[in-house]
Structure 1
Amino acid sequence: MDNTLLQSRIDFTGMKQAIFRLLTEYELCAYDFEWQEFTASQLIEMARQSGRLRPEVEALIWEAVTEFEKRGMYGANLEPYVPEVLEYLSHECHLVVLTNNAQEAAQEALHNTGIAHYFDYIVGREQMTVLKPSPSGIHYILRYYPDVPSERWMLVGDSWIDGKAAQDSNIRFAAYKGNIKEMEKWKVHPVLHINDMRELIQSLVWKTK
């Protein structure tokens, strides 16, 4: 959703730093840990996997994350051509939003930008057992549409975490203005690279292959 549908202004570096501070404060992370090399979702998952993350501390972490999300999505604009592309695609296929953001925040941002009605479903972090790059959210969506095989789906995103989630679910990934070097680093291989949303209409690779 962020930087794919919406021109997000979320301060992801600040968010990660806030998470890191809480992890060190509650002795869940060493002070010299290279937190900059990981996503916010990876930092949280590492804390969970430690077995020492207490519910009240995790609640503090999510409060901090939610505050960054709210500030970053307030007044967000759409990426170019998004309404036109969604209007076309909504008549051709199922459209679902999958975001690591809170579902309520995502719904509010999509309603405020006037595009929420194009989507069958908006899946936020509450519906996932583990955040992207885990495929948990995609598996949730696939279960919601049991009659649509995985090879008929495509995930469109700007980040390697989107591509990794897609690959681990055996669905196609289209990179929108993505950092190709970062994707190569994480062994993410998009079937399509686009810089203009209208290219999705021109390609429709899921119908031709």
Structure 2
Amino acid sequence: MNSNWKGIVFDMDNTLLRSSIDFNAMKWAIYTFLVDHRVLPQGLSMDTHTTSTVIAEAMQTGHMTDELSRRMWDIAKQHEIKGMAGAELEDGALELIRHLHGSLHLSIVTNNARDAALTALEENGIASYFDLIVGREQMGSLKPAPDGYLRVLEFFAHTTPSQWLSVGDAWVDGKASECAGIPFIAYRGDISKMNRMGVQPLADIQDIRDVMAFVQ
């Protein structure tokens, strides 16, 4: 194992776990809720927005009450619980994690609720392989903000961003990672969309086990 590398941060949904969360439905349900309660205006372009960026827009308005915030997160949680029920590992994920465990710090940064993420990881027998699991409760702002990745760097204070790699399937993973100074590997990602959103992956892989080639 190349001693220059100290750790890897993984996204969870559709990177380690084959999630069936309908992120588009979640995004629209939350946006509709926020429009109905006059927090956000109608007509926002949903092509470039994700659930997390819609929520960020709402939080910046100053119109969110504690009650509205609770109800909004409940909508997200309902979609997450439904989509993660029976979620299985991505092909090769267990082999990869077992290979890396003990040689590198392994972390997860997910926009999902930490408890829901931990349950899914435990059901698949891999939770114990990770040194740190950061869910949305541990972030000030969700991906594409870098908060979750900065939390990892703070936890492993003896390391530097350039000693880490990040792996994820979505542009928000890449944006958050790169903003924290961590090189990003896209796993089965939409590279053209990533580029449009200002993300320049170190590599684009189709098999999660290909991560091994970067840390040998």
Q: TM-score, with normalisation over the residues of structure 1? A: 0.95
The correspondence for 1:63, drawn from 60, 66, 74, is 74
Who is 1:187 aligned against? 198
Shift of 1:28: 1.2
Rounded Cα–Cα distance in structure 2 between residues aligned with 1:13 and 1:179: 15
Aligned residue identity for 2:160: P
Q: Secondary structure at the match of 1:37?
A: coil
Shift of 1:35: 3.1
Aligned residue identity for 1:72: G
Who is 1:9 aligned against? 20
Instruction: Please tell me the root mean square deviation across aligned C-alpha atoms, in Å.
Output: 1.0
Q: How does 1:81-96 map onto structure 2 within 5 Å?
A: 81-96=92-107
Rounded Cα–Cα distance in structure 1 between residues aligned with 2:103 and 2:205: 19
Rounded Cα–Cα distance in structure 1 between residues aligned with 2:42 and 2:205: 39
Q: Secondary structure at the match of 2:167?
A: strand
Who is 1:132 aligned against? 143
Rounded Cα–Cα distance in structure 2 between residues aligned with 1:51 and 1:172: 34
Rounded Cα–Cα distance in structure 1 between residues aligned with 2:189 and 2:46: 22
Shift of 1:36: 4.2
User: Is residue 155 from structure 1 mapped to residue 166 from structure 2 by the alignment?
Assistant: yes
Shift of 1:117: 1.1
Shift of 1:153: 0.7
Q: Which ranges of structure 2 fall in alignment gaps of 5 or more residues?
A: 1-11
Shift of 1:37: 2.9
User: Is residue 24 from structure 1 mapped to residue 27 from structure 2 by the alignment?
Assistant: no
Who is 1:76 aligned against? 87
Q: How does 1:106-125 map onto structure 2 within 5 Å?
A: 106-125=117-136
Q: Secondary structure at the match of 2:105?
A: coil
Who is 1:38 aligned against? 49
CA contact (8 A) 1:20 1:35 kept: no
Q: Which ranges of structure 1 fall in alignment gaps of 5 or more residues?
A: none
| 4+ runs deviating over 4 angstroms | none
Aligned residue identity for 1:90: H
Who is 1:103 aligned against? 114
Rounded Cα–Cα distance in structure 1 between residues aligned with 2:64 and 2:56: 10
Aligned residue identity for 2:182: I
Question: How many corresponding residue pairs?
Answer: 205
Aligned residue identity for 1:59: R
Q: Secondary structure at the match of 1:141?
A: helix
Rounded Cα–Cα distance in structure 2 between residues aligned with 1:60 and 1:36: 24
Q: Secondary structure at the match of 1:193?
A: strand
State the identity %: 40
Who is 1:141 aligned against? 152
Q: Secondary structure at the match of 1:95?
A: strand
Rounded Cα–Cα distance in structure 1 between residues aligned with 2:43 and 2:143: 25
Rounded Cα–Cα distance in structure 1 between residues aligned with 2:144 and 2:121: 22
Distance 1:37 1:150, change over 3 A: closer
More displaced stretch, 35-44 vs 135-144? 35-44
Shift of 1:31: 2.4
